[in-house]
Amino acid sequence: LFNKELGQHILKNPLVVNGIIDKANLKPTDTVLEVGPGTGNLTVKMLEKVKKLIAVEMDPRLAAELTKRVQGKPEQRKLEILVGDFLKVDLPYFDVCVSNTPYQISAPLVMKLLKHEPPFRCAVLMFQREFALRLVAKPGDNLYCRLSAYVQLLARVDHIMKVGKNNFRPPPQVESSVVRMEFRYPRPNINLDEYDGLLRIVFSRRNKTIAANFKTSTVMSMLERNYKTFCAVRNIDVPMNFNVKEAMNEVLVSSGYAEKRAAKLDIDDYLKLLCAFNDAGFHFS
Ligand code: SAM
């Protein structure tokens, strides 16, 4: 009956449904964006509380079922269904996003919300437990990773509820969790591709020293290439005796991060390190 590829696991437990809606703090003036409404168990309850709900559903069959579920009811005119892939649609204006989507699209879904303009209040999202724990992990935690450091630069993330497999029909293979994200505005004024580029390097082996992760030929040649582009664009001569390894080492040592490990550093540390590299003309994208 349900399409496995689209990760169709319907949330059956009304306590979980209500818990998610509670955490979204919906107001009568709100426009909600729901991703993957399925048969509409969350949708119909949210429609009672808000001004408008826009649901993005990939499966036309379920979109039709949801349309039928509200037909002839006062809620009908508050509901707009966009049939399509959330990752591909242009998003309309919304105040709050609620999603219980397939776990395969977790990372691109978070990235799309992080980049969305204009600002919105918050997102309440169901994820596979481990993904949720990565989103909230802090320096020193086992699951602290590049995703944690990237997302937490742009959003505050709270774990709000564990949801066992048996709350879904059919039950998925893995345990789930609901998180709430509040996005930081204004966004930090840094180049996100560069920040991500730095994180990729320091987290390539998260328990190795930062210096060890930088001293690979791939990283050094990337830095050298970017450095030369940087000089060319600014009409600066590359110094005759330029040695990427020495210059890079100088930044790592003088900034105090050479012997530190990514697994234990926080966002301020990565920003300081990025700034030290940029000041020396080194770029990561
Ligand atoms: N929200 C419903 C609930 O809680 O009962 C259904 C949840 S089910 C885990 C995921 C839903 O997302 C399905 O209805 C599926 O068809 C839909 N879906 C899957 N991939 C999608 C995508 N890329 N964009 C929009 N909807 C998608």
DSSP per-residue string spanning 86-120 = TTTSPP---SEEEEE--GGGHHHHHHHHHH-SS--
How many C-alpha atoms does 140 have within 13 Å on its Cβ side?
A: 0
Q: Is the ipTM of this complex over 0.85?
A: yes
Instruction: Give SS3 for 160.
Output: strand
168-205 core/surface letters (b: 16 or more CB in 10 A; e: else): beeebeeebbbbbbebeeeeeeeeeebbebbbebbbbe
| 227 closest CA partner among 235, 238, 217 | 238
Q: pLDDT tens string for the chain (285 positions)?
A: 678 888 899 999 999 999 999 999 999 999 999 999 999 999 999 999 999 999 999 999 999 999 999 999 999 999 999 999 999 999 999 999 999 998 999 999 999 999 999 999 999 999 999 999 999 999 999 999 999 999 999 999 999 999 999 999 999 999 999 999 999 999 999 999 999 999 999 999 999 999 999 999 999 999 999 999 999 999 999 988 999 999 999 999 999 999 999 999 999 999 999 999 999 999 998
Q: Is 40 in the pocket of ligand 1 (CB under 6 A)?
A: no
- Burial classification of residue 236, based on how many CB atoms lie within 10 Å of its CB (0-12 exposed, 13-18 middle, 19 or more buried): exposed
Return the closest-CA partner of residue 161 out of 266, 59, 52, 19.
19
Cα–Cα dist 208/167, whole Å: 40
- Category of 281 on φ-ψ map: left (φ > 0), alpha (ψ -120 to 50) or beta: left
Residue to mutate (ligand 1; options 57, 128, 173; most atoms within 8 A of CB): 57
Rounded CA gap, 263 and 157, in Å?
18
Is residue 282 a contact partner of residue 252, using CB atoms and an 8 Å limit?
no
Question: For atom 18 of ligand 1, which residue has the closest CA?
Answer: 36
Q: How far is residue 63's CA from residue 72's CA, in Å, rounded to a whole number? A: 16
Ligand 1 in reach of 6 Cβ (< 6 A): yes
Q: Is the CB of 95 under 6 A from ligand 1?
A: no
Q: How far is the CA of 103 from the centre of ligand 1 (A)?
A: 10
Question: How confident is the model at residue 4, as a pLDDT?
Answer: 82
Which residue's CA is minimally distant from atom 17 of ligand 1?
36
Strand partners of residue 65? none
Distance CA 224, CA 247 (A): 10
